[in-house]
A and B are shown apart, each in its own frame.
Chain A
């Protein structure tokens, strides 16, 4: 058909390029999709990261986030003024903080509220932002509630909140809903695996009410410090600790260790590393595909290249013509991806801010990322194009005019085993030979399927990993149903009282106190847990998985702690108590244990009391109980600080898992796109190269379906090999990730289980088959007579 065409001003080589793209639109679209996805992720995550960092920074600055928190016994108000005079202190502030149970209509429910005093002064540290209602008026009967808790429990302004304070029920009226920079990530303590916003919240009360409730009139149990610029942090902390030593410093928390901030920082770091690693993987795959496509294209276009050289086109002009194909993919992918990424960035930042409850919105579009993205994808693609098309330079015009000599046929390895070889049908022999003949293509598809499978495996193993982590910690490592902490240490005999109070099968007393453990200049504040040597609630395993007993003397420390302190078995660890007038104690490490959640040291209960605290005391119990009224029974007890139910922690985790399914879906789709593109492109290229061969088969009487199934089988064999190879690669990836994701709070072992391996194989197979089906149309359209007539395609 002839169309009237306006005289084109485009150079003819470029016109050829555009039409070449049009002819291979399926392949081009497949590569483009990968680039767009990679660049969109790059732009979206980077912009989200910058926006998040700026937002958090602004939020911290505007609300005067504290640089240091010192948890103490009781510090008189006048002492704060003394601290204020220490050089390097810009602002010192005292407050009281205590965790109290909330009385709800459902007595089986354990709800805890952290009551913190709020003076409502402009220069206060870690100030709240009022979202709704009004700030405290000073009547002493009002409370400000943190947003996450208010949302989760549907608490409205004017609602009354009943609290159990030191055995007495107190009622406060909710006057406002607030957000606070210390609780962006609302978690009770490091034992809580995830935020449980329905069962733990924070409330801000007047100073007078808080001090009375805590039994600290005129005193504080927390000191907040804001530094002056360029302060020597360690030096200042030392001075502050010395100054407050007489009041008993329980724990010193730097900004970087503050629980919520540490998690936010960690999230942002992970966001950053994802923003730069995932796109590189996508671009690498796109680059590989382009390389393969162009190297095959140059081979196929041998005569065309010869003619162009004969006409007088220079090598670099022709080389650039092919590189432009890759560059077109790079530029359009970079542009499309960065625009998509920008659209996604706004939504993602909003999602993050909502997730973290940050009452600020700083979404800015950083157009520089558009430029970076286009440069990144263009350079990547152009380089791949150069490598792929460099064969242009080797083609001599005179040689190109002659038909290429056929490749020397060789027997493949399998043919040396006639017992096996003779059993194969003709088409199976062809399939096997093809796999071995075109090694580069085989390796490419193999690598593609391997990477796809490895990524799928990584994704599908996530739920199992978390499940296993929870099981390991809460079923194998520690098996109690409840972890009950007392407000103050009491005699060991209290275990008997508890037995009378609650219906429990086993109750064991415990000591759980924060100490600073150090080895030389390596320090870490951790909870040291004292339990009976013959405990039934804990089973300790060393790093090699062998069960070990809790020694009567010395301590067991978790593997992550041993790494942080750089200590091994037999080494002495210095234990520095936060309690006043306590000498440092040196305790030998008797064993290093595996612990998936948290970081602790364990000692025999009596030894710990004797060496670090007082003889025969406990500050809590572990209980094995199916008693659903346990909470109700313990509520009136004045000395109960907290009751942690393992079942509650698991329930939160289950809720989290449903959220995780969505992100797993995304990851599977992303990995699938990679696998699809690789297999689709490799198959299309292979079809182009083998047009003659396939046409001959058609002439011999093979049907279209038979030809298709031959190619399908060929790819299936490679795919199966790819999946098998993907298992160790996926495992390696998981091992690497275990190290990368493990933090002070978690030690993740990401070894995939059987179910994950099967699921990953199923997903990979689905995408491989989809890619194959997409090429079926090309086989349908194969004009075998024309192909046989043509000297070149």
Chain B
């Protein structure tokens, strides 16, 4: 069953007097429970795509469906509700609140969601059970990213959108984070979409969508995804 279906989505905006075409006629489908990697260099349009799927931005044309519901026609209020219930974000620079502890950061998300998972359980799952009372400044980059993942997962969303989740981390921490995302995908059954410019990460994906200059240039299923610990870069 398709969790996301995008049909001919394009996004262009004006930069001064020049029209920038960030996304052109992108169409793809993502199945429920898939681990998808959207791969592309800087400026390829992958962040724009993620923002549109995540309900943070609207396309200039085309339609996006979550299951069978079109989200591209949503107004501001519906989009907020969509972000609240259906998607969880993980950012490159973690973007967790500096003046809240790990646990409080997760609660910040669960307080507004309709069907949250138990915070303690999620923190245990990401390996932060012992560090839940720490503030971000007292944690390493990897731990902060775990908080970010816990925050996204605890809302119990349909899909997890991860924007360069290992971009600010060293190799071994990056691998641990990818392992955690895989765990969320396999054990919790969440659809995970990772955008990255790191092509090695694509080896672990169920589906790889490649982008260049705002277009999808390849969309294929990876028949034999690699174990996370085997990935090298």
User: Does B158 have its Cβ within 8 Å of any Cβ on chain A?
Assistant: no
If A310-B89, A312-B83 touch, does A13 touch B108 (CB 8 Å cutoff)? yes
User: Does B51 have its Cβ within 8 Å of any Cβ on chain A?
Assistant: yes
Interface contact B54-A310, CB-CB below 8 Å: yes
* Chain B minimum-CB-distance residue to A3: B133
Number of interface residues of A (CB under 8 A): 30
Q: State which of A303, A311, A791 has its C-beta within 8 Å of the C-beta of B83.
A: A311
Which one of A16-24, A47-55, A258-266, A727-735 contacts B? A16-24
What does the 1/0 interface line of B81-109 toward A look like (CB < 8 Å)? 10111000101010101011100110111
CA distance A396 to B58 in the complex (A): 11
Interface contact A15-B95, CB-CB below 8 Å: no
CA distance A13 to B56 in the complex (A): 21
User: Does A785 have its Cβ within 8 Å of any Cβ on chain B?
Assistant: no
Q: In the assembled complex, which residues on chain B have CB atoms less than 8 Å from the CB atom of A315? A: 76, 80
Q: In the assembled complex, which residues on chain A have CB atoms less than 8 Å from the CB atom of B111? A: 11-12
Q: In the assembled complex, which residues on chain B have CB atoms less than 8 Å from the CB atom of A791? A: 93
Distance to closest chain A CB from B208 (angstroms): 23
Interface contact B84-A312, CB-CB below 8 Å: yes
Which residues, 1 to 47 on A, are CB-close (under 8 Å) to B?
Answer: 1-5, 8, 11-13, 15-16, 19-20, 23
Interface contact A12-B133, CB-CB below 8 Å: no
CA distance A23 to B80 in the complex (A): 30
If A312-B113, A398-B56, A398-B57 touch, does A16 touch B85 (CB 8 Å cutoff)? no
* Chain A minimum-CB-distance residue to B135: A2
Q: How large is the interface on B (under 10, 10 to 19, 20 to 34, 35 or more residues)?
A: 20 to 34
Which residues, 104 to 162 on B, are CB-close (under 8 Å) to A?
Answer: 104-105, 107-109, 111-113, 133-134, 138, 151, 155
Distance to closest chain B CB from A791 (angstroms): 6
CA distance A304 to B105 in the complex (A): 12
Distance to closest chain A CB from B205 (angstroms): 23
User: Does A313 have its Cβ within 8 Å of any Cβ on chain B?
Assistant: yes
Q: In the assembled complex, which residues on chain A have CB atoms less than 8 Å from the CB atom of B57? A: 396-398
Q: In the assembled complex, which residues on chain B have CB atoms less than 8 Å from the CB atom of A313? A: 80, 84, 112
Considering the complex of A and B, which 9 residue pairs feature the smallest CB-CB distances, nearest first?
A312-B84, A12-B108, A19-B99, A398-B57, A398-B51, A398-B56, A397-B56, A312-B83, A307-B95
Contact count A vs B, C-beta below 8 Å: 82
Interface contact B108-A5, CB-CB below 8 Å: no
User: Does A314 have its Cβ within 8 Å of any Cβ on chain B?
Assistant: yes
Q: In the assembled complex, which residues on chain A have CB atoms less than 8 Å from the CB atom of B134? A: 2
If A397-B56, A398-B56 touch, does A314 touch B80 (CB 8 Å cutoff)? yes
CA distance A307 to B95 in the complex (A): 7
CA distance A611 to B83 in the complex (A): 95
Interface contact A311-B100, CB-CB below 8 Å: no
Distance to closest chain B CB from A395 (angstroms): 11
What DSSP secondary structure best describes chain A's contact surface?
helix
Distance to closest chain B CB from A298 (angstroms): 15
CA distance A15 to B95 in the complex (A): 17
User: Does A114 have its Cβ within 8 Å of any Cβ on chain B?
Assistant: no
Distance to closest chain A CB from B183 (angstroms): 22
Q: In the assembled complex, which residues on chain A have CB atoms less than 8 Å from the CB atom of B113? A: 312
CA distance A2 to B131 in the complex (A): 9
What does the 1/0 interface line of B40-55 toward A look like (CB < 8 Å)? 0000000100010010
Q: In the assembled complex, which residues on chain B have CB atoms less than 8 Å from the CB atom of A371? A: none
CA distance A311 to B110 in the complex (A): 10
CA distance A142 to B113 in the complex (A): 89
Which residues, 267 to 288 on A, are CB-close (under 8 Å) to B?
Answer: none
Q: State which of B95, B108, B109 has its C-beta within 8 Å of the C-beta of A303.
A: B95
User: Does A309 have its Cβ within 8 Å of any Cβ on chain B?
Assistant: yes
User: Does A657 have its Cβ within 8 Å of any Cβ on chain B?
Assistant: no
* Chain B minimum-CB-distance residue to A312: B84
CA distance A194 to B93 in the complex (A): 73
User: Does A564 have its Cβ within 8 Å of any Cβ on chain B?
Assistant: no
Interface contact B108-A311, CB-CB below 8 Å: yes
Q: In the assembled complex, which residues on chain A have CB atoms less than 8 Å from the CB atom of B47? A: 401
CA distance A11 to B155 in the complex (A): 16
Distance to closest chain A CB from B172 (angstroms): 21
CA distance A310 to B77 in the complex (A): 13
Distance to closest chain B CB from A172 (angstroms): 79
Q: In the assembled complex, which residues on chain A have CB atoms less than 8 Å from the CB atom of B56? A: 309-310, 396-398, 401
Distance to closest chain B CB from A328 (angstroms): 15
Specify which of A2, A11, A20, A303 lies most central, judged by the most chain B CB atoms within 10 Å of its CB: A2
Specify which of B93, B134, B155 lies most central, judged by the most chain A CB atoms within 10 Å of its CB: B93
CA distance A411 to B80 in the complex (A): 42
Interface contact B104-A4, CB-CB below 8 Å: no
Interface contact A4-B133, CB-CB below 8 Å: yes
Q: In the assembled complex, which residues on chain A have CB atoms less than 8 Å from the CB atom of B155? A: 311-312
Distance to closest chain B CB from A70 (angstroms): 76
Q: In the assembled complex, which residues on chain B have CB atoms less than 8 Å from the CB atom of A303? A: 95
Q: In the assembled complex, which residues on chain A have CB atoms less than 8 Å from the CB atom of B80? A: 309, 312-315
Interface contact A5-B112, CB-CB below 8 Å: no
Some 19 contacts from A to B, beta carbons below 8 A apart, are: A2-B138, A4-B133, A12-B97, A16-B100, A303-B95, A307-B91, A307-B95, A309-B80, A310-B54, A310-B89, A311-B83, A311-B109, A314-B77, A396-B56, A397-B51, A397-B83, A398-B51, A401-B91, A791-B93
CA distance A130 to B76 in the complex (A): 77
Distance to closest chain A CB from B109 (angstroms): 5
If A307-B91, A311-B151 touch, does A5 touch B99 (CB 8 Å cutoff)? no
What does the 1/0 interface line of B150-191 toward A look like (CB < 8 Å)? 010001000000010000000000000000000000000000
Interface contact B100-A15, CB-CB below 8 Å: yes
Which residues, 292 to 317 on A, are CB-close (under 8 Å) to B?
Answer: 303-304, 306-307, 309-315
Q: In the assembled complex, which residues on chain A have CB atoms less than 8 Å from the CB atom of B163? A: 401
CA distance A315 to B76 in the complex (A): 10
Specify which of B83, B138, B151 lies most central, judged by the most chain A CB atoms within 10 Å of its CB: B83
Query: Apart from A15-B104, A309-B56, A311-B108, what are 7 other A-B pairs with CB-CB below 8 Å?
Result: A3-B133, A11-B111, A307-B95, A315-B80, A396-B57, A398-B57, A401-B163
CA distance A2 to B134 in the complex (A): 6
CA distance A311 to B154 in the complex (A): 11
Interface contact B104-A304, CB-CB below 8 Å: no
CA distance A15 to B111 in the complex (A): 13
CA distance A3 to B101 in the complex (A): 11
Q: In the assembled complex, which residues on chain B have CB atoms less than 8 Å from the CB atom of A306? A: 95
Interface contact B81-A304, CB-CB below 8 Å: no
* Chain A minimum-CB-distance residue to B99: A19
Q: In the assembled complex, which residues on chain A have CB atoms less than 8 Å from the CB atom of B107? A: 12
CA distance A405 to B76 in the complex (A): 25
* Chain B minimum-CB-distance residue to A1: B138
Distance to closest chain B CB from A52 (angstroms): 48
